[in-house]
Amino acid sequence: MSKRLLILGAGLIFSALLAVLALAGALDDWLAFEAADLVVHFPRAEGPPQLGSADGLGLYLRSLRSEAVRLEGLFHSAEAFLQLDYDPKAQGEVYLFIYPSLEEYQEASGCLICSANVGGFLPIFQDEVAELIRSGEVNPIAVYLTFDSTEYVALHEFTHVLDFSLIPNSPPTFLLEGLASYVGYRLDGVPNEWQLGLSEQFVKLFLEGYGPSLFQDYFARGGYWKFTYEVGASFINFLVARGGWESFLQFYRDLRPPYDQRERLEALFQRHYGAGLSELEAEWKQALAEVEVTANARAAYEFKLDQVLARYIFLRPLLADPERAEELFEAARTLIEGRFDEAAGAALREYLSDRENLLATAATTARALRYSEYLQSYVQDYHRDRPELIQAFEAEFAKLPRLYAARAFEDFASLYWELVQTYVTWRD
């Protein structure tokens, strides 16, 4: 492909390498490494200080090549587990973009509440390659990760690529996200009791507190709940234990819309499992009733329910000590890997709950004002079934640009903090 950069890494001299770099074409901000199915892109600007020498640059490029090969291996692991055979000639090569940090990823994507991973459509990030998508050379689904993304994250997103490309059945959301979560849990090398086991405990606590119905509350594709991923993975885990992995894959492939015809879905469950959705749901909940909830899992569940990580993301532009907050944030994010540092979580919650930790200057409030666009979208989406609450938020939110224009930075920071504390929380 004329617009793709292919770097072999080993044996390159500095002058020749610079000539190769000039071939980057449309994606001139990225270094791209081509594997069998993936083209892995790394930011061109990133790199160690020794890039001024040919040896240092060659070493750096070899390390990137090694990482691209590792990611390709994860893609093939998901492919084999799902019993699929991806053909880049038919579906297009999968583009993978690795951002240097969570913050830069969020800035580029415009998704300030995304946590280091997302599957999306390529033009959202890279308008320049729309022609490649139309030509069929590139799969229209791209994957966006960061250098810190775990194997679970990569496997989760690769599962979506394989699912959307090879099983275009548009399943209910809890099964769509549940499958990606289940595959990640099974293949990432982290013991299941740390991830899937913790997920099962979360779901048990969630069902005890809120008692959702699979059919009513997780049925619509856009009907995201806070524990959609965990619920889906848990239900799939139950179905696999009941009938085996291959039986579930056949069931999943047979899913077809429209799902508003309950009889159609019931018939599919009956055909594959000898029971309808309601009966299977009752069996699943009975199995969850036997799950033991540990003190660590309960603390992690309450932490996740509290949405303190989302509050950190929105408050970040105003924080007086961002390094300390980031340290606490990264420690608390071990929740993503199935573990939880309760002390770090409590410290982060305390740090964010004290408005004295804000820095109200022209620069910080300008950044927060830009973040406020995403805060508004978040509140509108997350509370979309609560119009009175959204109306109250909008009335206060409208004051922010006026306070900024009046250079009332302290008042701006105080109001912004109150909006985040009030509306970026779990349902009550």
Q: How far apart are the first and last CA of the chain?
A: 53
Kindly report the average pLDDT of the chain as a whole number: 82
Check residue 306 and give its pLDDT.
Answer: 85
pLDDT, tens only, 36-64: 889 999 988 655 555 556 667 788 888 88
In a 13 Å sphere around the CA of 122, the CA atoms on its Cβ side amount to 25
- Can you name the residues that pair with 119 across neighbouring β-strands? 143
Q: Does 237 score more than 90 pLDDT? A: yes
CA distance 380 to 373: 11
Q: Does 136 score more than 90 pLDDT? A: no
Check residue 252 and give its pLDDT.
Answer: 95
Q: How many residues does the structure list for the chain? A: 428
* Cβ 65 vs Cβ 9: under 8 Å: yes
Check residue 221 and give its pLDDT.
Answer: 45
**φ/ψ of residue 383, rounded to 5:** -110, 30
Res. 5 pLDDT band, cuts 50 70 90: very low
For 307-330, give the secondary structure using H, E and C: CHHHHHHHHHHHECCHHHHHHHHH
CA distance 93 to 34: 9
Q: Does 2 score more than 60 pLDDT? A: no
Closest C-alpha among 226, 235, 242 to residue 182: 235
Asked which of 84-98, 143-157, 305-319, 325-339 is least confident by mean pLDDT, the reply is: 325-339
Asked which of 14-18, 178-182, 371-375, 414-418 is least confident by mean pLDDT, the reply is: 14-18
Pairing of strands 141-146, 117-121: antiparallel
Check residue 332 and give its pLDDT.
Answer: 79
Q: How far is CA 76 from CA 83, 150, 162, 284, in A?
A: 10, 16, 10, 31
Check residue 80 and give its pLDDT.
Answer: 98
Check residue 24 and give its pLDDT.
Answer: 35
Q: Tell me the CATH number of domain 169-293, given options 3.30.750, 1.10.390, 3.30.1690, 1.10.10.
A: 1.10.390
Task: Specify the long-range contacts of residues 368-373, CB closer than 8 Å, at least 24 apart.
Answer: 368/317, 368/318, 368/412, 368/413, 368/416, 369/400, 369/401, 369/404, 369/412, 370/317, 371/112, 371/314, 371/316, 371/317, 372/397, 372/400, 372/416
Check residue 227 and give its pLDDT.
Answer: 82
- Can you name the residues that pair with 95 across neighbouring β-strands? 39
Please identify which residue in the block is written with the tokens 């920071």.
413
Q: For a pLDDT cut of 70, what percent of the chain falls above it?
A: 81
Measured at the CA of 184, the angle between CA 192 and CA 347, to 5 degrees, comes to 70
Helix (H, G, I), strand (E, B) or coil at 47: coil
Helix (H, G, I), strand (E, B) or coil at 36: coil
Q: Does 127 score more than 60 pLDDT? A: yes
CA distance 266 to 250: 16
CA distance 340 to 297: 8
- 398: its two tokens: 């409208």
Q: Which residues contact 120 (CB under 8 A, 6 or more apart)?
A: 109, 141, 142, 144
Check residue 160 and give its pLDDT.
Answer: 93
Check residue 157 and give its pLDDT.
Answer: 92
Check residue 402 and give its pLDDT.
Answer: 97
Burial of 308 (0-12, 13-18, 19+ CB in 10 A): buried
CA distance 117 to 150: 9
* Cβ 55 vs Cβ 39: under 8 Å: no
Q: Does 416 score more than 80 pLDDT? A: yes
Domain with CATH 1.10.390 in the chain: 169-293
CATH 1.20.1070 fits domain 1-167: no
Q: Does 197 score more than 80 pLDDT? A: yes
Check residue 154 and give its pLDDT.
Answer: 92
Check residue 261 and give its pLDDT.
Answer: 62
Res. 122 pLDDT band, cuts 50 70 90: low
Report the largest interatomic distance among the alpha carbons of the chain, rounded to a whole angstrom: 68
Kindly write down the DSSP assignment for every residue of 77-126, as one continuous string.
HHHHHTT----HHHH-BEEEEEESSHHHHHHHHS-TT--SEEEEEGGGT-
Measured at the CA of 144, the angle between CA 427 and CA 332, to 5 degrees, comes to 45
Selection from 198-212, 283-297, 374-388 with the highest mean pLDDT? 283-297
Closest C-alpha among 93, 116, 74 to residue 36: 93
- 319: its two tokens: 């924080």
pLDDT, tens only, 242-295: 999 999 999 999 987 766 566 777 888 999 999 988 899 999 999 999 999 988
- 329: its two tokens: 């944030």
pLDDT, tens only, 163-193: 999 998 878 888 989 999 999 999 998 888 8
Domain with CATH 3.40.30 in the chain: 1-167
Asked which of 19-23, 172-176, 404-408, 409-413 is least confident by mean pLDDT, the reply is: 19-23
Res. 336 pLDDT band, cuts 50 70 90: low
Q: Does 12 score more than 70 pLDDT? A: no
Check residue 220 and give its pLDDT.
Answer: 55
